[in-house]
A and B are shown apart, each in its own frame.
Chain A
C-alpha cells in the first residue's frame, strides 16, 4: 500500500529484521484492516448486490438474478409496504399541527445555519439531507400512528430508539444526580445499578415475561386486586411495545448512569461550593455548573447508545416474538424473518435501509449535537 512512515527509514535494508522494522506501522495496522475488509466492507458490497437481486433455490444450489431496485419497490410501495412502513391513517388536526410544528422547527434550524456564519457546500448538503430524513420519518411516524394507521417495522424501530434512549437518558441522569449528592454508600449503589447492563438481553426478555405474567408472576396479587388478571399485555400493540421498552430501559439506564455519574464527580468542586455559599439553589447549580461540565460526555453517551439502539432484535424476538401481529417487530427482526423465508434480496434491502437510516441519524447527531457540545466546552 502507499503508506509512508515519518520515522527515518533505514538507509539500506539488508536484513529482514530491518525491513520488518521499517514497515512496522503498516504491519501493525494490517490485521485490523484485513479483518474489517473481510467482515465489513466485503459483506457490505455483497449485501448491496443481494439487495438488487432475486435469490431462488435451484437444483443443487441457488440462482441469483439481478433485478435492480425491485426489492426496494416491493418494500416501499409493493406487497411488503404494510410490513415495513405500516398502514397509513388519516391525518387529523393534531397530526397536521404536530407536522407543522416539526417542519417549522427544522426550517428554523436550517435558516439559522444559512444566515449565521459562512455556509459551506458540504455543510448545507448534509443539513438538507438530515432535514429531509427527519421530515420523512416524522411524516411516516405521524401517518402510521394516526387513527386507522398501523406502524410498521421502521416506526417500531424509531420508537425503540428515540423513546427508549430519551427515557434511559432521563432516568440515568436523574439517578446520577441523586448519587452525586453527598451521600453514604455511593459505591454500593454504583455497583448495584451497574448490574443490569451485564445481563444478556435474551435473559432479560425472558425474565420480564415471567415478571409480567398476570397469573403466576410476582405482581399477580396486585393485578388480581385490580380485577384485570384476564387482560394480557401481550395481546395489545401498545402494551407489548411498552414491555419491550421497559426491558430495554432496565438494561441500558445503567450505562447512562455510570458514565454520567463519573462525569458529575469530575465537575469543578470549588465552583459548586462557591455557588452554594452565594446561596444558589440546586437547580441553578445544575443549570450553570453541572450541565455545562457534563454536556459533552452526555452527548457522546447518547450517541453511543443511539448507534446500538438501532440494532435491537433480541428483546422483541424473545419477549413478544415481534407480535401481536407486527406490533413489536424491529427492522433487524424483519430482516431476519425475510431471511428465514428465503427472501434474501428483501432481507438485504431491509438491512440496507436500516443502515441508511441509522447512519444518517447517527452522523447528524454527531455533527449537530456532539460536536457543538464539545466546542462549547473548549
Chain B
C-alpha cells in the first residue's frame, strides 16, 4: 500500500484489502441483493396477507399491513379448511408425493448402483427385436382386433426363439453408458406425449382417479432424475468396503442395503427432497389421471381458479397451505438440495 494518505475518492472506490470490497461496490452489491430479495418476498407476502382478508378488504383497494390498515380475520381459513373439502386433496398430495418419491428413490438407486458396479452388455439385436415385436402387438391388437392375450403369448414365443437363434450371431451390443443414457433421456420426453396412452391404460385397468395410478406414474417420470443423481453418489464411494463385504460372502443386495446406501445418505436426502418437491408440484399428469377421489392440490388450485376467480382470500389460503411446508423443509435442508443439484450439474 502507498504511504501517502488516500484521497476520499480512492477510499470510496478501492478496496481496503484483498478480500473485501470497496465501499461503493459494497453498497451497490447490497442494494441489488436486497432488491431481488424484495422481488422474492413481495409475492409470498401478498399471498400470506391476502389469506387473512375478506371480500371487503380485497375489493376496496389494496391494503398492505395487517392490524394497521386492515383487520385480519381467519374467515377464509375457516371456510377452506373446516367447511370445505380441502383436506382430502391435501392428503392425496401428501400420500402420492411421499409414496412415489420413496418408490422412485428405491428403484432408481438400485438401478444406479448396479449400473455403476456391474458391467452390462445387451445385444442391440435383442433390443431391436423387442421393440419391433412390441409395435407389432400394438398394431395387431388395435387394427386387426387380435386378442391381446394371444398377441402377447405369440410375441413372447417369437422373442425367445429369436434370442436363441438370431441374436447370438450378432456382435453389436449396448453397454452401461448407453443404458444410463437411455434411462436419463426419458426425462426429455414431454409428459404430454405419454399421458394419453397412460390414461387409456389406467382406464382399462379401472384405476383412473386413484392414488395408485398417480403414484405409479410419478415414480416413472421421476426415475430418470434419481438414476442421474444417485449414479454419481455411488461412483464416488470407494470400492474396498464393498469388496471386503463380498469376500465375506454377503450378497450384492446385502452390500447395497447395508454398505452402499448408508454411505451415500446425504446424497439420498438431497435426491429425495428434490423428487418430493417435483412430485408435490406436479400438475399435468394429475390433471389427466385424477378427477375427484384422487385430486391433488395443484389440480384443486387450478380448478378453483376458474370457479372462484375473484375470491382471492380463499385462493390465498389454498396456496399458502400448499407452499408453506415445502418452503419450511427446503429452507432447513437447503444445503442438501443445493448439493444434489450441483452434483447433477457437474457430472451431467
Q: Is the CB of A192 within 8 A of B41?
A: yes
Contact A181 B330 (CB under 8 A): no
In the complex, A43 has a CB within 8 A of chain B: yes
Q: Once the chains bind, are A43 and B122 in contact (CB under 8 Å)?
A: no
Given A189-B37, A198-B277, A207-B43, answer yes or no on A49-B139 (Cβ-Cβ < 8 Å): yes
A300 touches B50 (CB 8 A): no
A332-B192 in contact (CB<8A): yes
A1 to B29 Cα, complex, angstroms: 59
Tell which of B46, B110, B122 touches A1, judged by Cβ atoms closer than 8 Å: B122
Least distance between A201 CB and chain B CB atoms (Å) = 7
A280 to chain B, nearest CB (A): 12
Q: Count chain A residues whose beta carbon lies closer than 8 angstroms to a beta carbon of B.
A: 112
A39-B221, A200-B298 known; A335-B330 Cβ under 8 A: no
Question: Does chain B have a CB within 8 A of A242?
Answer: no
Contacts of B183 in A (CB 8 A): 32, 36
- A29: contacting residue among B120, B220, B297, B345, CB under 8 A: B120
A46-B220 in contact (CB<8A): no
Pair A276/B18 contact, Cβ less than 8 Å: yes
Interface segment out of the listed A84-92, A109-117, A349-357: A349-357
Q: Which of B188-229 contact A (CB under 8 A)?
A: 188-198, 200-201, 216-217, 219-221, 223-224, 227
For the complex, what is the distance from the CA of A275 to the CA of B253, rounded to whole Å? 51
Residues of B within 8 A of A301 (CB): 345
Give the interface segment out of A71-79, A95-103, A118-126, A215-223: A215-223
A44–B44 contact, CB under 8 A?
A: no
Instruction: Decide yes or no whether B344 CB sits under 8 A from chain A.
Output: yes
Given contacts A207-B43, A297-B346, A300-B346, are A28 and B20 in contact (CB under 8 A)?
no
Query: 13 A–B contact pairs at CB < 8 A?
Result: A4-B121, A32-B227, A43-B198, A46-B197, A191-B331, A192-B37, A197-B330, A200-B298, A200-B319, A206-B301, A276-B18, A332-B284, A358-B188
Q: Residues of A at under 8 Å CB distance from B?
A: 1-7, 17, 20-21, 24-26, 28-29, 31-33, 35-36, 38-47, 49-50, 53, 64, 66, 174-175, 178-179, 181-183, 189-208, 210-211, 215-221, 250, 255, 258-259, 262-263, 273, 276-277, 296-297, 300-301, 303-304, 307, 310-311, 313-314, 317-318, 331-332, 335-336, 339, 344, 347-348, 350-352, 354-355, 358-359, 362-363, 370, 374
